[in-house]
Amino acid sequence: MSDIKKVVLAYSGGLDTSVIVRWLQDTYNCEVVTFTADIGQGEEVEPARAKAEALGVKEIYIEDLREEFVRDYVFPMFRANTIYEGEYLLGTSIARPLISRRLIEIANETGADAISHGATGKGNDQVRFELGAYALKPGVKVIAPWREWDLNSREKLLAYCDERNIPVEKKKGKSPYSMDANLLHISYEGINLEDPWAEAEEDMWRWSVSPEAAPDKPTYVELTYKQGDIVAIDGQEMKPHVVLETLNKLAGENGIGRLDIVENRYVGMKSRGCYETPGGTIMLRAHRAIESITLDREVAHLKDSIMPRYAEVIYNGYWWSPEREALQALIDQTQTYVNGTVRLKLYKGNVDVVGRKSEDSLFDEKIATFEEDQGAYDQKDAEGFIKLNALRLRIAAGKGRKL
């Protein structure tokens, strides 16, 4: 007999996790607790309650975590200008540590013996969920059905539902794209996207119009920053999740935020995916703009040098790690004077910075001007500066060394 009496499942209410509820009940003869998080996926989460009840679940957690998600995970990540492999804004990756944390907290609250998730054995999410869980509760038991069962196709999952009278929506024809959504992004994988040469179909995209269909008139928007985070849009103060919701709408209407990439998964394979990150695309551009006038040069360059490492840490699932905490402390310290306003022009897929201002700006017009600077900068000083910096090059050249 299994020693697993109660399991907390990350539950969406869809086909996979509905099957998992019954599979856990049948395989482990255990009680299942479901946890459904609203992190801005754009769909009602409350229907998951009725679906869970129909499967005999007695303890059902449905939580609105949108504000916490953006405030405590998305915003800290954007303070670092984080992108993975030069393109990906980590929309899926950054949601996993929050879900892992709540899974563990609920397991502790309910006295559960294990947690479970619906991530497949091929992807990154299994790693992210479980690394987070083990970091927060070292002895936790993790049940990953996709690594145990033989229900490895949609047809087998639907047959399992028929055999056990599991109520799920059945879609005819080809399987839909595999999608993941939250307030930061929506991702698409599978079907024709498995061929990296095939162009994504226009009707696949959900959050943005194509640049060709975007308005012929640009949209201007002003973002106000305080210590590296956006606190107001066009002078109106907003909570973090409302900031992102607003930017998603503005960007999507202007054809901004689409991405088609092949990325290197942590588990070793290459994967082609399409992403819509409209608000995040604006946030990245604007944050770099406000930093350009408020950060010291060497601090800015240091941040840029550690960003790829920070991105890998998040992408690979190590949010709850000492290295991420250390990197975050450094990043957050750099944001003390990242205050001010950025003005942007949104037009047919483009985000152009057209203005930036700050009381903490290091931009000195007296020194930078091409006009008379009234002695603010002595150009003669440059001669010695250049000669000293060229010293090692001059010595090597004098020895006849070739580059």
Instruction: Indicate which residues carry an active-site annotation.
Output: 16, 96, 125, 178
Is 190 within any annotated ligand binding site? no
The conformation of residue 122, written as its DSSP 8-state character, comes to: T
Taking the CA atoms of 346, 285, 66 and 20 in sequence, report the sign of the dihedral they define. positive
Torsion of CA 224, 257, 69, 112, to 10 degrees: 180
Is 158 within any annotated ligand binding site? no
Is 361 within any annotated ligand binding site? no
Is 56 within any annotated ligand binding site? no
**Residue 176 and residue 193: Cα distance in Å, rounded?**
11
Is 120 within any annotated ligand binding site? yes
Given a contact cutoff of 8 angstroms between Cβ atoms, the answer to whether 113 and 7 are in contact is: yes
Task: Report the amino acid identity of residue 186.
Answer: I
Both tokens assigned to 163: 């055999």
CA nearest to 134, candidates 144, 148, 122: 144
Is 271 within any annotated ligand binding site? no
Is 194 within any annotated ligand binding site? no
Is 187 within any annotated ligand binding site? yes
Q: Hey, how many other C-beta atoms are within 10 angstroms of the C-beta on 165?
A: 9
* 223 beta partners: 233, 342
The phi and psi torsions of 276 (rounded to 5 degrees) equal -120, 115
Is 275 within any annotated ligand binding site? yes
Is 286 within any annotated ligand binding site? no
Is 318 within any annotated ligand binding site? no
Is 373 within any annotated ligand binding site? no
Q: Which residues, at least 6 apart from 325, have a Cβ–Cβ distance to it below 8 Å?
A: none
Is 124 within any annotated ligand binding site? yes
Is 134 within any annotated ligand binding site? no
Q: How would you classify residue 228: left for phi > 0, otherwise alpha for psi between -120 and 50, otherwise beta?
A: left
Is 341 within any annotated ligand binding site? no
**Residue 227 and residue 395: Cα distance in Å, rounded?**
45
Is 210 within any annotated ligand binding site? no
Is 10 within any annotated ligand binding site? yes
Is 123 within any annotated ligand binding site? no
* 10 beta partners: 35
With H, G, I as helix, E, B as strand and everything else as coil, classify residue 196: coil
**Residue 152 and residue 158: Cα distance in Å, rounded?**
11
**Residue 399 and residue 403: Cα distance in Å, rounded?**
12
Both tokens assigned to 333: 């310290």
The H or E element containing residue 211 is none
Is 93 within any annotated ligand binding site? yes
Annotation: binding site for ATP: 10-18, 37, 118
Detail the residues annotated as belonging to a binding site: 10-18, 37, 88, 93, 118, 120, 124-125, 128, 178, 187, 263, 275
Residue ranges of the binding site for L-citrulline: 88, 93, 124, 128, 178, 187, 263, 275
Annotated binding site for L-aspartate: 120, 124-125
